[in-house]
Amino acid sequence: MRKLQKLAAGALEEVLAGTALHQVLPRCLQHLHTPGERGALQDIVYGSLRQLGRLDAWLAALLERPLTDPQLGWLLRVALYQLAYTRAPAHAVVHNAVTAAGQGWRRGLANAVLRNFQRRRADLEKIADDQPSARWSHPDWWIAKLQTEYPDQWQGMLEASLLHPPFTLRVNRRHGDVASYLRRLNQAGMPAHQTGPDAVTLDRAVPVHSLPGFDQGDVSVQDAGAQWAARLLDAQPGERVLDACAAPGGKSGHILERADVVLTALDVDAARLARVHENLDRLHLHATRVEGDAAQPAAWWDGRPFDRILADVPCSASGVVRRNPDIKWLRRPGDIAQFAAQQAVMLEALWRLLARGGTLLYATCSIFDEENDGQVRAFLARHIKDAERCPLPQPLTDGALLPDAEHDGFFYALLRKT
């Protein structure tokens, strides 16, 4: 446990210094040798980041003066997370953290902080609940933004963002249906329930290769909210379809599972584009893969219009922070305007590639208005003569799919070229 604590503390320190978690965690995992250890480290790091605001408040209340040793601070946050949110024996958590803290005053301080936390738990919970950034474990600016944009839903959205993300699969309709796959899961001792037309959510996560038929392409891992994209795009057999920003290929695979279309999977990152090939190969599906920038189609487009375009644009990822909890601590208020500007350029570029009468699905995994409805309203104001917004079914009447226990947060707008 001591090694896990030190690795987790180091990971948190790197992330809060500005390095994305997906870059930090693989390096940490290389120091561990068993699946159990690697899984435990991931749980500690992800969980600590989800609850970081609360851990910060607890630590501040337990210290008589600001801590001058940052590394010890991260170690204590990790241990506080373990004491509050895991089943690890409290005595083992404290003993290993105190030992990992080192000698002298560091050892004594670690012991005092963790013992006091156990004694003062109820009081510390109240202290944290009185501070918005600790109560909701999000930055103050983020909370204020949601309060303004979602005056009736902001609390539920923040609560959902603190949950462990659901483990949801997309059943490949070319290989079977949801009912039959649920039976296979039940027979394998993996209880699950249906959460969408093609979606099943397991009661607990399992290694993907242990899933019945995963290696044969019977299912893919994909959030239930993300599965709306292919359904709303509704590509028909024989149509030319562009999946812009396609990597890692989840939505491309779903489009091809639903219909025999001529699909171009575009991405600016060659390494990520290779993952599209891997995912489609497992599903026994094919797309033309193109390395290129969606905002600069002159470099890669052959001049033939597309009947449907999925514009799954880069965004703040504010709707998927429970899967990527580093995002809420690394984002800054000014980042949202930068994403919105990038999205506007990309949307204009892709619109020129769409055939008359064709449809473009604008999609983000953001919950912020500038990137979502505000972006679409501005686009429609510029395109009064050649664009209209198509109605969407429930629960997407306004395009927003707010995060809850069953799915992450997304936004969709279906635009037709008139």
Return phi, psi of residue 175, to 5°: -110, -10
State the catalytic residue, choosing from 28, 245, 315, 365.
365
Q: Are 171 and 177 in contact (CB under 8 A)?
A: yes
Give me the sheet containing 192-196, strands edge to edge.
Answer: 192-196, 199-202, 167-171, 219-221
Question: Measured between alpha carbons, how far is 221 from 205 in angstroms, rounded to an integer?
Answer: 11
The single-letter DSSP state of residue 308 is E
- N- to C-terminal Cα separation, the chain: 62
390 is annotated as an active-site residue = no
β-bridge mates for residue 128, sequence order:
none
CA distance 349 to 362: 13
Distance CA 115, CA 204 (A): 32
Compute the radius of gyration of the chain from its Cα atoms: 23
Helix, strand, coil percent content, the chain, rounded in steps of 5 = 50, 15, 35
Cα 306 to the center of its chain, rounded Å? 29
State how far the alpha carbon of 252 is from the alpha carbons of 44, 95, 305, in Å. Answer: 32, 49, 18
The burial class, CB within 10 Å (0-12 / 13-18 / 19+), for 6 is: buried
Contact, 411 vs 399, CB < 8 A?
yes
Dist CA 396 CA 287 (whole Å): 29
Beta bridge partners of 387: 417
Active-site annotation, residues = 365
